[in-house]
Amino acid sequence: MRTFVFGKLILLALLIISPVMAEEHASISEQAASDQIVSHEGELGQDADAGHHSSLPPVWLVAPFIILLIMIATGPLFYPHLWEHHYPKFAMTLGSIVAVYYGFLMDHGVLSLMHTLEEYIAFIALLTALFVASGGILVKFNAVGTPWINGLILLGGAILSNFIGTTGASMLLIRPFMRLNEGRLKPYHIVFFIFVVSNIGGGLTPIGDPPLFLGFLKGVPFFWVIGHVWHIWLVTTLAVIGVFMAFDMRTPASDIVPKEGRTVEIHGSKNFIYLAIVIVSVFMDPAVITGFPSLQKIFHVPFGIREIIMFSVAFIAYKTGDKEALKGNEFNFEPIKEVAYLFVGIFATMIPALQLIGAYARDHAAEFTVSRFYWFTGSLSGVLDNAPTYLNFLAGSLGKFGLDISSINDVQHFAAGVESPVAGDSHSIIYLMAISVAAVFFGAMTYIGNAPNFMVKNIAEQAGVDVPSFLGYIFKYSIPILLPIFFVVWWVFFNL
């Protein structure tokens, strides 16, 4: 049996940072910290900038990120044995190239690395806690999958993702969803599950998806998103589920006969308490609770009380988990291990890409229309972490209206509605709607757009399901299915 991976996860993040980081970080002045255009304490995303334009990284430093994406796309197809056994080394090596450059050659580079480490630990702490807690809950549907039943489960999962996050909902429902369709399970079942439950479904609350939580930390009211985009969410969710049902109606019914008994059985229900603790701990942040202690500031460590609680919950949930539930779910740490290794490389290698994008967004914000914010935020959220992409374009849109993302009052003012200084331009609310929708929805375009995508893919592969490759997912499913729907969303709601 695999041993628990907490120590490994922290070690992986630490190894990618220069050994001199801690010593240099302590000597960085407050002025250097203020040079960060968009920074946050313990957020789940990535820094948007690490200094003024004079300290932007060279364009060639984006190469490790591009190489890593290419390897993620081609490894399982063309050199699967090499990739399966050595992908951690590839991710770590490419990440180290960027880390070394930032550690020794970039102005305030150590500060950027420290912020990235904080964000990675917060990111993996949340995913690990949700993964383990939900993995100890066994849900059994005493029924046979049909298009209507499957559609209802996807809709229920979309709603649930706004309460326990896309990761929690995905881990809770993916195994019962596969069991329900035993004998007729096809690749599209997994793909549409990722579309709806792992991404689009979480678009109504800050708990649902990391970009919206970062907006909440910055000052967007908690119920702002659901109040302004619920109709877009509903139309999009139903449209994707409708396409899924059209696919599913063409698949022959299973000849498996349901057993007698309750329609739904749940084992390990005590883990719902652990999930509740994780969700509450998400808000234990100085940006949410005034005066809440920050271990990062007090002890100069790359984690806070929130992360300690999350890792502790994961450990306790695993040790005290219902054995029948864990066995029934075929629970193991392989999915979270894959995410931990690959995303430590992704987090590190995308630092220069995000900084260059952030600088571009600020420089060109004045000429950006609502449409450009929608498509730029969306297209980049599919290949970059959607949380920092959201922050970059939120900062750009605020700048367009003469506001500053570092001011909670400015963000609240922006969310409440500000008239554009440009004659004939749109109201600020439509900009925030476009950025929020695009960041969440377009995370479904690739396996790396949102962390649960990779986890669902890994669980399905372990179950022997024929899951599409990285490129197959994009060209066979997300582009022909999602892109037209997202185009209609833009045409109807944001083509201004």
Residue 307: its pLDDT value, please? 95
Q: Is 32 exposed, middle or buried (0-12, 13-18, 19+ CB in 10 A)?
A: middle
Residue 36: its pLDDT value, please? 41
Q: Which residues of 368-407 are buried (b: 16+ CB within 10 A; e: fewer)?
A: bbbebbbbbbbebbbbbbbbbbbbbbbbbbbbbbebebbe
109 C-beta neighbours (distance < 10 Å), count: 24
**Residue 255 or residue 464, greater confidence:** 464
pLDDT at 272 over 60: yes
Residue 422: its pLDDT value, please? 61
Residue 32: its pLDDT value, please? 40
Most confident of 28-42, 361-375, 448-462: 448-462
pLDDT at 30 over 70: no
Q: Which residue has the tokens 């300690």?
A: 308
Residue 260: its pLDDT value, please? 63
Residue 421: its pLDDT value, please? 65
pLDDT at 160 over 50: yes
Residue 259: its pLDDT value, please? 67
**CA max distance for the chain:** 69
Residue 265, classed as helix, strand or coil, is strand
Mean pLDDT of 426-453: 93
Q: Which residue has the tokens 């022909």?
A: 480
Token pair in block for residue 366: 């004045």
368 neighbors 376 (Cβ within 8 angstroms): yes
pLDDT at 461 over 80: yes
325 neighbors 20 (Cβ within 8 angstroms): no
Q: How far apart are CA 246 and CA 73, in angstroms?
A: 28
Domain extent listing, the chain: 6-137+271-494
For the chain, what percent of residues have pLDDT higher than 90? 64
Residue 332: its pLDDT value, please? 93
Span 192-237, pLDDT tens digits:
999 999 999 999 999 999 899 889 988 999 999 999 999 999 999 9
Confidence of residue 58 (pLDDT cuts 50, 70, 90): very high
Residues written for the chain: 496
358 neighbors 395 (Cβ within 8 angstroms): yes
Q: How far apart are CA 179 and CA 183, in angstroms?
A: 9
Q: How far apart are CA 171 and CA 139, in angstroms?
A: 11
224 neighbors 205 (Cβ within 8 angstroms): no
Mean pLDDT of 468-488: 96
Q: How far apart are CA 489 and CA 292, in angstroms?
A: 40
Span 359-418, pLDDT tens digits:
887 788 778 889 999 999 999 999 887 888 898 899 888 888 888 887 889 999 999 998
Nearest Cα residue to 35 out of 61, 56, 21, 60: 56
Q: Is 259 exposed, middle or buried (0-12, 13-18, 19+ CB in 10 A)?
A: exposed
Span 85-131, pLDDT tens digits:
999 999 999 999 999 999 999 988 999 899 889 889 988 999 999 99
Q: pLDDT averaged over the chain?
A: 86
Q: Collect all residues with Cβ–Cβ distance below 8 Å to 482 and sequence separation of at least 6.
A: 195, 240, 441, 444, 445
Question: Which one-letter amino acid corresponds to residue 420?
Answer: S
Half-sphere exposure for 308 (CA within 13 Å, toward CB): 11
Consecutive H or E run containing 486 = helix 483-489
319 C-beta neighbours (distance < 10 Å), count: 9
Give strand pairing partners of 139. Answer: 266
Span 276-288, pLDDT tens digits:
999 999 999 888 8
